[in-house]
Amino acid sequence: MRFTVARLCGGKALMMIPREPVPLDLHEAGRILSVEAEGFSVEGPMSVCRWRGMEMTLYDQGKVMFYPLEDRKRGIALASELHEMLAPARSRG
């Protein structure tokens, strides 16, 4: 999967934006991540939790923001791993 990367929060956070939207069922994503993520909650079109020692915001179109994170390559690797894990949560329509 290919991502566009945006720096946020004065460069302290990175948002990984899939080149093509990846619609996600956030409730299903929460179920899948429940083993690794802490405090997963859905708030409208996004969810927030702690994952791999960072605050993660996951959006229903597949965008993901990691805070704090400044390493672009690590962000892409994490987002790729996350999307692989969340394949069963992809919305079908």
**CATH code at 73?**
3.30.310.10
Per-residue pLDDT of the chain (93 residues; tens, 9 = 90+): 899 999 999 989 999 999 998 999 999 999 999 999 999 999 999 999 999 999 999 999 999 999 999 999 999 999 999 999 999 999 865
Question: Residue 93 has what pLDDT?
Answer: 52
Cα 22–Cα 24–Cα 25 angle in degrees, nearest 5 = 165
**Looking at the 3D structure of the chain, how many domains does it have?**
1
- Residue range of the domain that includes 45: 3-89
Question: Residue 80 has what pLDDT?
Answer: 97
Q: What gap in Å lies between CA 88 and CA 93, rounded to an integer?
A: 13
